[in-house]
A and B are shown apart, each in its own frame.
Chain A
């Protein structure tokens, strides 16, 4: 019987032919032997050793270059004074020489005494070994003294400021190349002098060149000592060492990018990562040192934190030049699911009695996490010491950083850092004791706290704005050009700054797939249009995830935080957060609309419909934003009481005025959108706000009676108008806003001692004809314009009077009020007048209140129509 499974019987000749014809076949067959892998490992080790040697040589050359630069800097410090000294010597020597040359000519004119002094000096100025010894002795002593002084200064530094620092921070001082170069020069001068001294002792006469050199070095020693001394004193502030750290970190980052020589070598990538991590550790240690020293806490801490923020901005641009699978990114291990892992892996694990090999994924945010921790530590330092001014400086810098990161499509990175800032701000807001708002109190801490809240929330809004700027760069042409360059054989062409990681990952896998095709087919098969679709899709997927994250954060940053602040009774801060929340909701709503149009443009690249595409739920997004806005508004309306109580201080925002403006606008918007629930909640609050505004205007010091009356009437006219719009929208859309209005008025008038007198007063204000343009009159005109637009859009406005040739498509509304309103192209009747003739109908009928003739005519028209209706 034959075994059903027979092994290949290919002969050696056939195997050889197969190997010669196909490199890929040869490769797989060789790989099935253990020896191949052993040899490959040895070869890789050899290659790595050679690269490592290359790296070491290049690194040491770079170090040497820095040393040379440091020496040049030291020399430059004394070159000017030396030149001056040389010129002086030259002038004097030349003068003396010329004097000697023309001695005979000048003798008759020279006094006797001068000639005698000159002769004695000439005898003294002989160059002999003794004079040399006289010069060398002090030079050696001075060199030794300077060295001693320098090291003493360093010792003092290390034993005071750096007494309790970790060794890595102390090493940073030792890395001061300028100081080290100075030591070398001083040591060289001392050594040179000692050698000459020795030579003179044995009878050698040094040359004139040595003399010049020694004099030069001697002058240099003195001048450089002064600057070096100044430098050493600077080291008492450890933040001066940040220069070395940021330089190191930038260098390691650059080495890991496509600019580096070893960017594709996993061993080197891991080395660069370790070095960068070590540098960040030193950074943290340096910040710990600074935070511990009371006198350094403010300026040094802010200097260090700002340098970190600058570094992160630089890093985000470089990061796109690092491959996604680079060992520069720390590895995170994930446990695999036994039920979804391939049979091959589970069976090997079962046969060998081992666990499933964990899934390795690169941690793309490791640097941001580390920097975030350091910034968090620094921020806590500021808040612990109530150093709000410096915290504010950091926040100010931070809001630009988030925008830059978002512009670069690094939203996850920006969010990670923002959350650190947010948590610290929230903690501070909740623990901050709001002082009594009186001019005599120190309100600076409150001002700074409110500014911190502002900058923190602005940082978030900036993320959206940055993202929008980022998307503006990414038009269809950019995607085509990215795809084209990614199709090239050169791997570096994949990495371009400003692309989201998801797009980079798509380009990277695309490159692998094309390489597969090139190996198998000898050329790339997949056409550009298909790659373009996938690249665009990856960008849309990035946008989808980013928009989701931003919306989740929008709710947390504004709504959740405002609620929690209200619970903690930190009303003023809550009001600040809510006001920024309104701004954020507005920006989100508008820019999401823009993004919708942008994404619709990108959809054009979709050729194949069977590749799943991103379906953005734009309506849901807008609903979510509107909900957040509504919740914020409701919360805001509950805060009217505390807002009214806030005293008016000139350099504090006018929260009441803002609240009043928002509430009146939102009342109209609620009616337009038919949101009865919202109207029911905010109209009574707006009612109170309007009356409060009226009372506040009484305090205005305005001489002109007409102007003062106009300001007093403004808020009452608003109230009358909005009450009238409730009536109009009830009629227009069959809603129930009027009952809310009626309730509010009924309650208010019921509490009045003299009801009719109050009504008379209110009607006088509410129907006042303002002949001047007051701030609110423009707003009210806009309200009327909105109503007019709605009526026109619904085809209810009568336009045939003016455009008789236009075919009339006007619909007749069943409501008498709407019919009356839409009788002409313009609205002649004002909402406030409708309110007066409707709500105060009984008072008018009984003649208890007086109204203007035009209002009376409206009253009569409406009542006539009512009577007609009754008759019919």
Chain B
């Protein structure tokens, strides 16, 4: 189905940028964005996946390198990414993209973007857009991609569901690192639970009229352990709110693991994005590849961890500064 955009160009978009959270068939994870620790984790990953581009700090600022056969590719990429503030800069655009993509990945475990081609009446591709497919309705069936769409009926409460087939070549599927995929759901559910139960419901009433021999300290420790255990593989420190049970060394050990996770995630997103550029380039007749410069890698995190454990450092900052 082809739709005409306001600019007079024809869009190839198949997915519908719309979802209805009340439909029980939807893979609704919106609670992750509201429930304490789960929401904090999504925010932290979103905000740390790439440093905010800061022009005032050119000396040690990271850079994004675009290797392209055509000089117009940079503008094409900037236009392809939805930007909040309309900044026409590759770094800002990519920052926005990585932030959104990482957020969706953390909440849903995957993020699917549709490559939407905008063509002129003559059939020439004018521009491209990377459009996020509503994650709650996105379905993968082996190599087949679909979007579930529920439409409200006239009766109100009843909804009618329909599946939209999405062509595989136009879908860019971003995934979590391999070691996280199986654990992701469990981790987020744990975080949602502890986030929603900072103090058990009965505990407040129990303070006025004590009937349950409740120990807040014990419960609090159990919460801390549960959060630390759930996020063990990504090393997230839950913003260091409750560190009274840990050695500072352990806190920074986890922090480095978290940095390593971010590096792997960032590299994974970049790989998939480059795959998308290859696909677009093959249709539009160019080659392009994005790469980061001056950003730490997972290997850097590994060597920092080794230094931290062997004690080859003068301050903790020695091993942390390159990730900050």
Contacts and interface: CB of A to CB of B under 8 A. Distances in A.
B229 A8 contact: no
A386 interface: no
A27 B222 contact: yes
B187 to A, nearest CB: 10
A511 B206 CA distance: 32
Interface in A530-558: 530-531, 534
Given A608-B314, A610-B317, 18 more contacts: A5-B35, A8-B196, A9-B28, A18-B186, A25-B230, A31-B222, A32-B200, A34-B214, A41-B213, A352-B207, A513-B247, A513-B250, A516-B246, A516-B250, A527-B309, A607-B313, A608-B313, A610-B315
22 contacts: A4-B34, A6-B30, A21-B186, A22-B229, A24-B229, A27-B222, A31-B200, A31-B218, A32-B201, A34-B212, A40-B213, A41-B213, A352-B204, A352-B208, A353-B208, A510-B247, A513-B250, A514-B247, A520-B232, A526-B253, A531-B247, A607-B313
Contact of B207 (A354, A519, A530): A354
Interface string B21-64: 11000001011001100000000000000000000000000000
Task: Pick from B22, B34, B249 the residue with the most CB of A within 10 Å.
Answer: B249
A317 interface: no
Contact of B196 (A7, A40, A514, A529): A7
A526 B189 contact: no
A22 B249 contact: no
Given A2-B21, A24-B222, A25-B226, A526 B200 contact: no
A609 interface: yes
B194 interface: yes
B225 A28 contact: yes
A28 B222 contact: yes
Interface in B264-284: none
A37 interface: yes
Contacts of B202: 33-34
A83 B259 CA distance: 88
B228 A520 contact: yes
A266 to B, nearest CB: 12
A373 B45 CA distance: 61
A38 B31 CA distance: 31
A29 B193 contact: yes
Contacts of A607: 311, 313-314
Interface in B181-230: 185-186, 189-190, 192-194, 196-202, 204, 206-208, 211-215, 218-219, 222-226, 228-230
B316 interface: yes
A530 B311 CA distance: 8
Contact of A9 (B31, B186, B214): B31
A37 B226 contact: no
A354 B207 CA distance: 9
A525 interface: yes
Interface in A7-63: 7-10, 14, 17-18, 21-22, 24-25, 27-29, 31-34, 37-38, 40-41
Interface of B: 21-22, 28, 30-31, 34-35, 185-186, 189-190, 192-194, 196-202, 204, 206-208, 211-215, 218-219, 222-226, 228-230, 232, 245-250, 253, 309-311, 313-317
A352 B30 CA distance: 33
A517 B250 contact: yes
Contact of A525 (B194, B208, B211, B253): B253
Contact of A17 (B186, B206, B315): B186
Interface in A198-237: none
A37 B215 CA distance: 8
Contacts of A7: 31, 196
A348 B204 contact: yes
Contacts of B310: 527
Contacts of B30: 6
Interface string A156-167: 000000000000
Contacts of B246: 513, 516-517
B315 A521 contact: no
A41 B224 CA distance: 22
A17 to B, nearest CB: 7
Contact of B213 (A27, A37, A352, A529): A37
A7 B214 CA distance: 24
Interface of A: 2, 4-10, 14, 17-18, 21-22, 24-25, 27-29, 31-34, 37-38, 40-41, 344, 348, 351-354, 510, 512-514, 516-517, 519-521, 525-527, 529-531, 534, 607-611
B189 A8 contact: yes
Given A5-B34, A8-B35, A24-B226, A609 B315 contact: yes
Contact of B311 (A41, A348, A527): A527
A28 B223 contact: yes
B247 to A, nearest CB: 4
Contacts of A354: 207-208
Given A2-B21, A530-B311, A610-B315, A24 B253 contact: no
A520 B225 contact: yes
Nearest to A517: B250
A25 B225 CA distance: 8
Contacts of B206: 34
B317 A8 contact: no
Nearest to A42: B213
Given A9-B31, A529-B311, A513 B186 contact: no
Contacts of B229: 22, 24-25, 519-520
A610 B200 CA distance: 38
Contacts of B192: 8, 10
A38 B315 contact: no
Nearest to A527: B309
Contacts of B314: 607-609
Nearest to B24: A9
A10 B189 contact: yes
Task: Pick from B204, B226, B230 the residue with the most CB of A within 10 Å.
Answer: B226
B228 A516 contact: yes
Given A513-B250, A530-B247, A34 B200 contact: yes
Contacts of A41: 213
A27 B247 CA distance: 23
A4 B34 CA distance: 8
A487 B218 CA distance: 23
Nearest to B224: A516
A345 to B, nearest CB: 9
B204 to A, nearest CB: 7
B250 A526 contact: yes
B309 to A, nearest CB: 6
B232 A521 contact: yes
Contacts of A527: 249, 309-311
A390 to B, nearest CB: 51
A514 B253 CA distance: 13
A512 B31 contact: no
Nearest to B38: A8
Nearest to B185: A14
A510 B31 CA distance: 37
Task: Pick from B34, B189, B219, B224 the residue with the most CB of A within 10 Å.
Answer: B189
8 closest residue pairs by CB, A with B = A610-B315, A28-B226, A34-B202, A32-B200, A41-B213, A28-B222, A34-B212, A6-B31
A5 to B, nearest CB: 5
Contacts of A5: 31, 34-35
Contacts of B31: 5-9
B311 A516 contact: no
A28 B213 contact: no
A37 B201 CA distance: 13
Nearest to A8: B192
Task: Pick from B186, B247, B250, B309 the residue with the most CB of A within 10 Å.
Answer: B247
Given A31-B218, A608-B314, A516 B225 contact: yes
A44 to B, nearest CB: 9
A181 B88 CA distance: 102
Contacts of A37: 212-215
A9 B226 CA distance: 19
Contacts of B219: 28, 31-32
